[in-house]
Structure 1
């Protein structure tokens, strides 16, 4: 199939975690809310009202409170977010099985050939967004185009609660006008470097040869050369081979005593066992992830000859790895993951996110 005939939708929930909290607690609606944070945490999500104060995800909570002293900080409820994410994903599957989740709150859909026989991807995106609102009370934004890169860029244009289509006849003109910092995959550091090279938009980027871009940016140079020309042929991948399986927990209050850590490692080991059974995988390498209150992070791993298969062994090795920690400080996150998986038991698992284009 010609790449220009594909119809890709990127659906992105609007301020997902914060919006769930505002929906479940109407008293929070219209107010600046952040999920996670506080004096010692990190913001997991911020409502649009909070974003007006410059508050963003991954921002230290103390800085968020300095920017907005009346900010409402709520504790994350990840099970609730997963529950709603599952409802949203069920809606996607009503239209296509080609769904590639990127996270709990966003996914790519290939609707070129869809279950409802709808020729317009625009119509599908509108229906999906409407169903999401009817079933969850939440809003979503969508981008529609011929590839994942363009759909991702488009979904950010009319947020919140909007959608944008980049028609194949508009791709080259759209890319030439696109500010370089709006390119998906170009972060702040790279954007600043490009500005120093007088590359401010797609037209400036397009003027550089592939060899020059590769010299300046390595392998990424070829990616930049292609996407500015609307070339991004990566298909929507609904399944990926699991290379690891893991669980982690960020704590509302930092763990200051070893007894609390032991209890959490016990819980994580049990959750990891459950996830192993669910995915039908076993692994030979267990990794403990520790993030301290000051945000420094360490990992410790141990490989064994026989596959981990039960809770007691997972917990025992997790405790051994804990003893190898670099120092004693309050802990804000613990995680356990298994790798070096049994290739026979490993399955293709879902990843925690093609019509005349006149009808797009």
Structure 2
């Protein structure tokens, strides 16, 4: 599924491309599951640059179909997974061998293909960007969503107190089911005031904001001195500039999982850590699948908030 011009979901269209052959150091994967993420929307809409014509999608899982010269640690037929490489919306794709990680038999293709990027994001945030420890407090927006649910579960596993926000009462039960200690409900609620009340004015150590827009300023206001706000998305649009005075002795970070996963030294160990968490059933199974040829419908549902948890594309 390719885009030739930026725009809405309708710009996604099917194309037939020539047969792929792996070059030196490459692996050809026959894909079994492709992840559906908001970064795909950002690439399609032009919010993040994607050379055109281009193929969106940044994660998937499948079977090794061929290997290039110099690749001796993968065999044809081996199960593999990857994340952080643009071009996933395809039945087959080439990848550098270092990007390709063996997939344990205990982890289903759809589980790995739809959750690895979110798992890497959570691992990056809670282990590298701001290492979370028992007794700390964390604010997670959109806690019923695919990334939000993983962040809540992993933060609780680390012993943190989790304050979650959700958009509706129906999603409150989901957030509590993931382990959230407190849930702030409503799209227009003054969540900063709610967080202040829940923490006796102390605030949280870490606030994770994938919403952007006008939400970011409120998120920063929830953070205690020497804590951190991690801005990881802009579902509600680009946030206005943040004056330094608004940080009040705390930090503002703009971490990118794409940059994180491009670091060969951290990528492999981080993927292995996430796959281990999958085998411990920390992640829920994806709730919805779409045929790859219906990627436009999947994007429309994702942007409209009609998907709870994670979803995937079936090649």
* Larger helix proportion of the pair: 1
TM-score (norm 1): 0.19
- In terms of Rg, which structure is larger? 1
TM-score (norm 2): 0.21
